[in-house]
Every structure is written in structure tokens, then in C-alpha cells.
Amino acid sequence: MLERLFQKIFVAIISEKDGYDVQSLVVKNKKILFKESRHFEGDVPSPAIIRYIEDITDPSPFFYISTLNLHANQGAYDGCSKPADYLQNEDAVGIQTLCRDTQWTQYASQDALYQLRAHYSAVGMDFIFSPFSMIEFYFADKIKTSFALYAFGMPELFSVAIFDGGKLEYAHHYARGSSKSIDMDEEVSTMEFASPLSEDEGSEGTILLDDIEDLEDLDLLDDLDALGDIADLDTLDEVNEFSEDTPTAEEKRLERDRNSEVVKNELDASSEEYQRFEFIQKTLAHFYASGQCHNRFIETVCIADSSKGGDELKRYLEEELFLNVLIRKVDVCEGINALAQAEVEGL
């Protein structure tokens, strides 16, 4: 009852290459009264950031400060069991988990969460959200009903999750910390498929993501090629039947080979868009080569992207991998505040 008399103030803060982005949101009785975005220079929260947050939160005792976990050691898996039952390539000790809708689990390193809280100790931290929460938020209208690959991207971070009717089939988080770019040849945070190996299955024959050099290494591409072109790439809810003029698998393979060279020539191999193209390409290869695939093919990729550009990535995903591609441009701080508001007000 007391909360109804006061405004609720939400502040999102996120570290970028050249400083910090901060968004403040003032709400009363679930109505937005004020919203402002600011950028601050510096490698650590500066006195200017601290003063701004103190001033913006001073009018109300109900304020909530949130950020996004950008560290490498995090991910998600199907179900809500203990992480030791699922994480095959990572040490499950020191892992903090959060079950979502009793269906799937986010996890993160406790050390990383401690470091984040220490980093923002001058302003305090109420919520630390996962990139997989961002995927869930930005594609809430699709995840529970569609089979697709969903991704969240911002500079030096790219998280992917495959959902089928709300069931998490696969999740992978790529992050390179403070390095200038994400390098496919360097170490990235990796997790195996959501479902653990059964007792009669061993690790022999398991295909690791980094072992797949190219989609051409997989025989299953013949099946992928046979799918043909999607007639209407702007329609995500309906896929037209393929015409009799659909090119053969061999013609598709030759076209893909030519297009692959075009991708490499037209996109800088060190650029963010090319790296994301490779991430998605290898993720699909991993999924198709696994026991989780069950002869299913992903036709749709949905990307929530905070970066500029994206047109080239969309075009190459459509032309190279014959995918329906939806890219939503997002404001990360706005998304973080929306998640915090949902936690506090039960939206």
C-alpha cells in the first residue's frame, strides 16, 4: 500500500567500449512519468555517474538499479535440475542458477556475479540479468509457439538459443570480455546440448562446436540444400511450397560455394557481422549433427541487435543458409529496465 504513494525509479547501467550507457525510468501506478538516457565516459563508474544516479533516485525510497551480465561463463539448459546434471564441459561448482517458468534454467558464475557487484558497489545493484533473459523478453511473442533460433547481440557479445514451442533445445553464449573483437579461434564460453548424455551413451563421437570448420563438412547439408529457397522471406508465419524449378542439391552446393567466397570478400573477416554469420553457421551445424535435431530443420532466425547495421548479416543468412531472418533493433538499457519493472511489479 505504501508503494502506491511513491514513484518507482528504475535505473539501467551497462558498460560499453567507450564508457557507460545509463537509462532512468520513473513509474507511478505502472504509468511512465519520465524516461531519460545518458552516456558517461570512463572505464569505471565515475563520480558523475554516481551523482546522477543519486539525484535521480533521491525522490523515492523505491528505486532499483540493474545491469546485464557480460561475462563469458554463463549459459542456459533445458529443465530445472542441478547444473552438474547438464554442464558437461564446465565446472558446475560455483555456478548460480535461476529456473525460468519451470522449463529451463539460466546459469552464471558466482565469481562473475561477485565481480559485477563489486564493480558497481558505489551505486549498488539490485538485478543482474542474463543475455538469455533478453532473448526471452524480446521474443516473448514467438518463443512459446515457434521453432527457431533466437539470438541477442551487442558489441563483443552474442548469445543464441533454440526454442521449440517454449522448450529450450540448445543454448550457447559467446563473449570476449574486453577484447576488441570476438575471435572464433580464441576460447569462448561453451556448453554442450541441453539434454545430458544417457547412461548408454558415451562421449565418443560427440561433436564439439569448435571442431566443425565449415558447414560443408556435414553430409546433412544435402538435406538442407534440398529445402530450396524460401519464397517469402518477409513472412515468418507461413512458408510457401517449393516450386518444381527449385535447383538441385548439387546446383545449390555450387551456388553456396560461390556465395561463401562472396561473403568472405564483401564482409571483413574481422567484422562483427561476419563473425555473427560464422557463429550462426556453426551453431546450426552443431545442432544438425547432434542427437537433438530429430530431422528438424531451422527455417527462421530472430536476432535482437543493439549494434548498428545488420543488413549485410540478414542478406547473407538468407542467401547462404536459406533462412527467414527477423532482426529487431533494441535499446539494451530499455530492455533491462523493462525486465526490472516486470520483476518488481509482476508485469
Q: Give per-residue pLDDT as tens, 38-66.
A: 999 998 999 999 999 999 999 999 999 99
pLDDT at 18: 87
- 2-11, 49-58, 80-89, 159-168: the lowest-pLDDT one: 80-89
All domains of the chain in start order, with CATH: 2-68+333-345 (3.30.420), 143-331 (3.30.420.40)
Cα 213 to Cα 109: distance, rounded to the nearest angstrom:
29
Please return the burial class of 201, using the count of CB atoms within 10 Å of its CB with bins 0-12, 13-18 and 19+.
exposed
pLDDT at 107: 95
- Buried-state track 100-109, b at ≥16 Cβ within 10 A, e below 16: eeeebbbbbb
Is the separation of the CB atoms in 280 and 286 below 8 Å? no
- Mean pLDDT across the stretch 89-99? 78
Radius of gyration of the chain (CA): 21
pTM of the model: 0.75
Q: How far is CA 245 from CA 71, 234, 253, 322, in A?
A: 48, 21, 16, 16
